Amino acid sequence: MSEVVKITKKGQATIPKHLREKFGFTDRAIVVEAEDGIIFKPVPDISKEKGSLKDIFEGKTVKELIDEVRREDREKERSMKKYGGI
């Protein structure tokens, strides 16, 4: 199936609503250069991915993980200072 869409002077084109809904497009898209044109793909939702790391992080955000690691590092550093390691 093909559709013709208008491209503005700024290079913007609107993906028809039924295609955005069908393929799960949100506010961003991946643009892939192909030999005969370009391909638009939806950006995957990482929270819905079933990767091997999802279970390890137990639903924590990146910020929460970084804060946790930094807190652990501070505690290790304090412990080392306490016992003359630093």
> What pLDDT, in 10s, does the model give residues 12-68?
999 999 999 999 898 889 999 999 999 999 988 766 665 556 666 677 788 888 888
Cα gap 75→77, rounded to integer Å? 5
Angle (nearest 5°) at CA 46 between 49 and 44: 90
Cα gap 7→14, rounded to integer Å? 8
> In the prediction, which pLDDT does 48 show?
63
- 3-state helix, strand, coil split of the chain in percent (to 5) is 40, 15, 45
> In the prediction, which pLDDT does 51 show?
59
Cα gap 1→83, rounded to integer Å? 71
Cα gap 2→5, rounded to integer Å? 10
- Kindly report whether the global pTM for this prediction surpasses the value 0.85: no
Structure tokens at 6: 């208008």
